[in-house]
Structure 1
Amino acid sequence: MGAVVQGAVGFGLGLVAAPVIAMLEPSVMPGAIQVVNVTLPLLTILGEWRGVDWRGLGFAVLGRVPGSLLGGLVVVYVSTRTLGVLVGVMVLLAVALTAWAAAVPRNRATITGAGFVSGITGTATGIGGPPMALVYSGAKGPQIRATLAVFFLLSAAQSLAVLAALDRLPARSLVFGATLLPFLVAGFLASGPLRRHLDGGRIRTGILCVAALSALTLILHGNLG
């Protein structure tokens, strides 16, 4: 289901999968979700690589590098549930502002900032899509999905490296993540009809809905955990 959502709007895999894995097998998080996070973007890039916003991607990665390092420290020293609640509230506010305004300004400052926040939350909780998706919510579907796919590919690889360096990436996490890959591919293939539907002028609404659900998931998981 996570792959269906991300295959359609460009993000959302962590929204669906991360909370479920964290509840059922908390010992394999956040490494297991990063295994699927590094795999799904390859499928999107394969079909929509021409839509990548390379300039914006550069600024996003620039912000993501220090963000992921800070996210790694969060995993070691801070409760990820507490972080999730704070980020969830911030994302809900951002969704409300984005829905009210025409679009989030997309410039070097907002993209770099989104990359930084995504680095923190993506590394610590496995849910790093909403900040970047909100910044690109005014773009067309193929550009959103392709740009986010390359960003998520680099981000997940970086998060895996940070977790490994901090000794927070047990082999069991990698194996657990690998067992999810066949279902990941099936979900992506099933997302085709929904992707075409959203590209007919509905992609921005889809992004706002998934971002809001991501925020609520972070808040509920933090309060119930």
Structure 2
Amino acid sequence: MTATLLIAGLAVLAGALVQGTVGYGMNLVAAPLLALLEPALVPVPLLLVGSGHALLAVGRELRDTDWRGVGWIMAGRAPGTALGVLAVAVLAQRPFAAVVGIAVLVCVVLSVTSWRPVPAPVPLLVAGIASGTFGTAASIGGPPLALLYQHSAGPRIRSTMAACFVLGSALSLGGLGLAGQIETRHLLLAAWLLPFLVAGFVLSGPARRLLDGTHLRTAVLAVAAASAVALLVRSAIG
């Protein structure tokens, strides 16, 4: 069990490094391995440490947070979450996940060619709905937000997405708590993962300075594409 938790911690460290640098991606890096190693590590412990990472990220670049954008995104997040729950209940999971993956890939391709999204109120609301739907039903809620902010400065992308993650995770954890799904063992597992999370966050400090500028948009699009491909692979192999 100690070896399993050590590997899980290293996965969280890698995920924290990616998310601290690009603004999102922890679930892409850590969640599949954690679920394979020990199912009890997801979703509650990962949500808890992810919330901690988001709080650290907001604190680090607080002045750059687009709070107006956060408000519009969260306004869309609630109905989006409801749509995601409905999708899980009434749609076949694998085909729906494939559709989500294809939609994200199409947005990435359009971004590379001609699409230049602007974080205005209506697109922000739509991105919030998409994030809530995709995050709830397919576990990739970050790409819709990241793609919308892809032309923004690095600190604006990271801090704004982190603020959305803090609020979104609080809603998720509150719902899980009311449903009686949070247990003492989840808190202990989160406590074990916390030092790895902090280490990854600290390492992301110099890494973000290397990527900020022209390289960050490439990284944002790469993580979005990787998320979509991973989702397509999961839907294909079940």
Same fold (TM over 0.5): yes
Q: Where does residue 176 of structure 1 map in the other structure?
A: 189
Question: Offset of 1:179 from its aligned partner?
Answer: 2.4
Question: 2:5 matched to which residue of 1?
Answer: none
1:223 equivalent to 2:236? Answer yes
Tell me the equivalent position of 2:44: 31
CA distance 1:81–1:168, shift in 2 (3 Å): farther
124-133 vs 205-214, greater mean Cα deviation? 124-133
Given that 1:33 and 1:126 are in contact with CA atoms closer than 8 Å, whether structure 2 keeps it comes out as: no
Q: 1:128 aligns with which of 134, 138, 141?
A: 141
Q: Does 2:194 correspond to 1:194?
A: no
- Within a 5 Å distance, the mapping from 1:1-225 to structure 2 comes to 1-72=14-85, 81-101=94-114, 103-225=116-238
User: Which SS does the other structure have where 1:11 is aligned?
Assistant: coil
Q: Distance in 2 between matches of 1:40 and 1:7?
A: 8
- Cα gap change, 1:79/1:40 in structure 2, threshold over 3 Å: closer, same or farther? farther
**In terms of mean alpha carbon deviation, does 94-103 or 128-137 score higher?**
94-103
CA shift for structure 1 position 97: 0.8
Identity across aligned pairs (percent)? 44
- Structure 1 equivalent of residue 4 of structure 2: none
Query: Residues of 1 paired with 2:177 and 2:92: CA distance?
Result: 19
Which amino acid is 2:213 matched to?
Answer: G
Bigger radius of gyration:
2
SS of equivalent to 1:206: helix
For structure 1, list consecutive stretches of 5 or more residues without a partner in the other structure: none
CA RMSD of aligned residues (A): 2.3
Q: Number of aligned residue pairs: give it.
A: 225
Give the 3-state SS of the residue equivalent to 2:61 in structure 1: helix
Q: Which shifted more, 143-152 or 165-174? A: 165-174
For the 8 Å contact 2:53–2:197, the answer to whether it is kept is: yes
In the alignment, is the contact (CA less than 8 A) between 1:28 and 1:170 conserved in 2?
no
Q: Report the CA distance between 1:132 and its aligned residue.
A: 0.3
Q: 1:81 Cα shift? A: 4.9
Change (3 A) 1:102 1:74: closer
Secondary structure at 2:214 match in 1: coil
Instruction: Provide the TM-score with structure 2 as the length reference.
Output: 0.84
